[in-house]
Copies of this chain bind each other. A is one copy, B any other.
């Protein structure tokens, strides 16, 4: 994407005009990487078939904007995050992700080569995940009125019959299964931002979880709740579930995997891994008699190899999350208050 004079091409306000320069960007970049029969029409909206959803079918629909800083970090970038994050939100409702939209807000002067790197990352992640980016939009704002690029994705998926997952469906006795270590994404981004040298081993866990979820639901369609603990971390997500389901939740500190380099970075920055964002992990609430089958299915999947039971739902302290510490004491863990990690996703 370098021009003949050697200076790198930059995004201009005209790239957001809707006119000829916009068309060049759409045709030369977005269509080239995202190409599919629906997007290629370039109509005002994509016209989509719904393969399996019948008259009684249900759709899952979600959206997230991504403002992560820096845009590129160990283990991922804003493009991969924008696809995985929305795919994962659909997956947490048990939906098979089908279609994504992509809305770009770009700061004037942004390097076209960086935009292409991001778009290529989105396209590769979408392809690996089996979703199609079928509609989009590009806006450009003046230099200093944004921060490089912001990306919004909205996602559509279809929910198979018999699947009814919800944050309000957890019952006392349900077992809490966590798919792997916590805090990897947040600390990878933070270490990059703060320039922590020792933290070279930190890497974001950013990954699409639709395959793992499909395997889990095949093992047990009766899973009560799935959530990906992103902003606010595992503690905030479990507080939300406890509140919505009106049950108590207890988690066991000894059982919650935290990589040693994540723990070290957290200690240095004064953060609690329970509140740090993840982008490739999920927590499931499963009827106890099915925990074994679900765990086995998870262990066979690349994103669930370290899955383990980390707690349980109880009739005690409804609406509250309690941590049983390594020392054997119990303490209430609240939802995140304030903001400890701005622009982590």
On A, residues with C-beta under 8 Å from B are 12-14, 16-23, 41-50, 53-55, 57-67, 88-90, 92-93, 95, 99, 101-105, 134-137, 139-142, 144-147, 150, 152, 154-157, 159, 165-168, 227-228, 230-232, 236, 240, 244, 275, 277, 334-343
Instruction: Name A64's contact: one of B89, B137, B277, B334 (CB within 8 Å).
Output: B137
| Residue of A62, A65, A93, A334 with most partner-chain B CB within 10 A | A65
| Residue of A41, A44, A59, A141 with most partner-chain B CB within 10 A | A44
Would you call B45 and A134 a contact (CB within 8 A)?
no
Known contacts A19-B336, A53-B50; A63 and B147 CB within 8 A of each other = no
Would you call B147 and A47 a contact (CB within 8 A)?
no
Considering the chains assembled together, what is the distance between the CA atoms of A150 and B21 in angstroms? 22
Would you call B17 and A61 a contact (CB within 8 A)?
no
| Chain B: minimal CB distance from A238 (Å) | 12
Q: Which 3 A-B pairs have the closest CB atoms?
A: A19-B336, A18-B231, A154-B154
Would you call B338 and A19 a contact (CB within 8 A)?
yes
Considering the chains assembled together, what is the distance between the CA atoms of A106 and B42 in angstroms? 29
A156 contact set on B, CB distance < 8 A: 59, 61, 156
| Chain B: minimal CB distance from A340 (Å) | 7
User: What are 27 A-B residue pairs whose CB atoms fall within 8 Å in the complex?
Assistant: A14-B337, A17-B339, A17-B340, A17-B341, A19-B231, A19-B232, A20-B337, A43-B165, A44-B227, A45-B89, A45-B92, A48-B59, A49-B58, A50-B53, A50-B59, A53-B53, A61-B101, A61-B156, A64-B103, A64-B137, A105-B150, A137-B152, A141-B147, A142-B343, A146-B146, A152-B152, A152-B154
Least CB separation from A148: chain B residue: B145
A232 contact set on B, CB distance < 8 A: 17-19, 22
| Chain B: minimal CB distance from A71 (Å) | 13
Known contacts A63-B101, A147-B141; A335 and B45 CB within 8 A of each other = no
Further contacts, 6 of them, CB under 8 A, given A45-B92, A64-B103: A20-B335, A43-B167, A45-B90, A45-B93, A63-B154, A65-B104
Least CB separation from A235: chain B residue: B19
A340 contact set on B, CB distance < 8 A: 17
